[in-house]
Chain A
Amino acid sequence: MTIESIQEEIVDEFSMFDDWMQRYEYMIELGKSLPLIDGQYKTDDNIIKGCQSKVWVHAELDNDKLVFTADSDAIITKGIIAILIRAFSNQKPQDIIDANTDFIDEIGLKEHLSPTRANGLVSMVKQLKLYAIAYQTQLN
């Protein structure tokens, strides 16, 4: 699936919820189901700065696609990463670089987009894109 169609799917899922409680409960569920990152990658080097909770992201190339794994010590943050990883993992680096992130607004997480927000969603997106740029350079 393309990043765009995955994002549409996520937007569809979130549109079923009437209120913030359900949205957050769903995010918490997503957070709990996030596949665990390999312990060896939970290093200080892999911590994304700018988050009040700790967030680790690891990226590796699988043929021509970039695979992300991640973890956080806060469950709502984990839910947000789970959504981002679903949208961006297992995609070609160039597609990740080109992807827009409007879907975050559409699923009612706009409040998390503010750069001053302590959860660092912006930092997470930036980090995923930076990995994509790094691996794209390698592929070139």
Chain B
Amino acid sequence: MIQTALDIETIRKDFPILNRKVNGKPLVYLDNAATSQTPQQVIDVIVDYYQNYNANIHRGVHSLSQEATDAYEAARIKIQKHYNIAKTHEVILTSGTTHSINLVANGFTSFVKKGDEILVSAMEHHSNIVPWQMLCERTGAILKVIPMNQNGELVMEAFHDLLSDKTKMVFCNHVSNALGTVNPIKEIIEASHKVGAAVLVDGAQAAPHIKADMQALDVDFYTVSAHKVCGPTGVGMLYGKEEWLNKLPPYQGGGEMIAEVTFEKTTYADLPHKFEAGTPNICGGIAFGAALDYMNSIGFDAIAQYEEELLQYATAQLLAIDGLKIYGTAKNKTSVISFNIDGIHPYDIGTILDKLGIAVRTGHHCAQPIMDFYKIPGTVRASFSFYNTKEEVDVLVEGVKRARNMLL
């Protein structure tokens, strides 16, 4: 029996989707690292928006527009408080982590010159590799990689050796999506700042597990996608320190982001609107705030503790299966298990598990460099959330055993 302060059965009732069947079997949803499920409390907020106050924001004089604007800006403040951000206008609402990273990478074209160095960790998602490669192509800067060891942990000695006065930016995820490793971002931020480099931390995978404190971390940029924390897809956050956001040029032109427009010259709006061109995902932003309220009502400490119990239990059960190898065995990791079984392709395991109603991710998890590192085509990834149960872990383990028997 897993000890937890959480009432998991009651929590599960908040998620209507968990009642459905897939291929005739009760859904066992273990693809939470790809996207989390949405509780009724958040669904209600989305329905309420469209039923009662759907309007464009920031410019209408009518009541509906004002209500929608108030709700959207209230969500921004919820996000600010959740991440302990000093100023409300340091919260830029974007379409998600990928948008946030591209916004910064694009803006940094102005600050980076030929020969400058940019460091990325070896365990990045493609979305935190490709934009920097594009930046390097545009500017002639050099991309260098912070290596990782077999456990899936960054080699920090190598990181410190790579840092120099040429280093302009460092990019690292807070938590690896493919391996679950929690990276020592505090150490990375402090060391990078000593050589004058800015740091962007991709917080997409940390968001459902760790309540990150922007002021304590002293990070320059931090990115989050709402759909990883029980919110909707298509909305997320870019946190940026005010001084950086003021220096960065606008990313997209359009309505909302301007102060004055003539054909001769346009002056840009103040933060955060300078980076929020066009009509935003209004409902999504409001629901993002509601999702954080929901997660906080459960409590991140209790979530982290329970997920750790699930992780330990699942790890022990899975490792008992003959030929099963887990990739990513960092001391500090979130509730993600990436694994393979000797002689079986991850795709085959995923296909059989799907027939059993179990949703896992298979493939390279948009992190091909990690797969190349381990010399594997991909892995099966089971990722657990606070609404998963020990019984669901048992279903997974039985499913993997069954798949193994069928496939070997």
A→B interface (CB under 8 Å)? 20-21, 24-25, 28, 52-54, 73-77, 118-119
Contacts and interface: CB of A to CB of B under 8 A. Distances in A.
A27 to B, nearest CB: 10
Given A76-B348, A77-B347, A118-B363, A52 B406 contact: no
A19 to B, nearest CB: 9
A52 B355 contact: no
B406 A53 contact: no
Which size class do B's interface residues fall under? 10 to 19
A25 B355 CA distance: 12
A52 B371 CA distance: 13
A76 B351 CA distance: 8
B363 A75 contact: no
Interface of B: 23, 344-345, 347-348, 351-352, 355, 362-363, 377-378, 406-407
Given A25-B406, A28-B407, A52-B362, A74 B355 contact: no
A24 B377 contact: no
B406 A20 contact: no
Given A25-B406, A53-B377, A118-B363, A20 B355 contact: yes
Contacts of A76: 347-348, 351-352, 407
A73 B345 contact: yes
A74 B348 contact: yes
B266 to A, nearest CB: 41
B377 A73 contact: yes
Instruction: Name which of A24, A54, A74, A76 has the most chain B CB atoms within 10 A of its CB.
Output: A74
A22 to B, nearest CB: 11
A52 B363 contact: yes
Contacts of A54: 377
B34 to A, nearest CB: 13
Contact of A24 (B345, B347, B352): B352
Given A24-B355, A25-B406, 14 more contacts: A20-B355, A21-B406, A24-B406, A28-B407, A53-B348, A53-B377, A73-B345, A74-B348, A75-B348, A75-B407, A76-B351, A76-B352, A77-B347, A77-B348
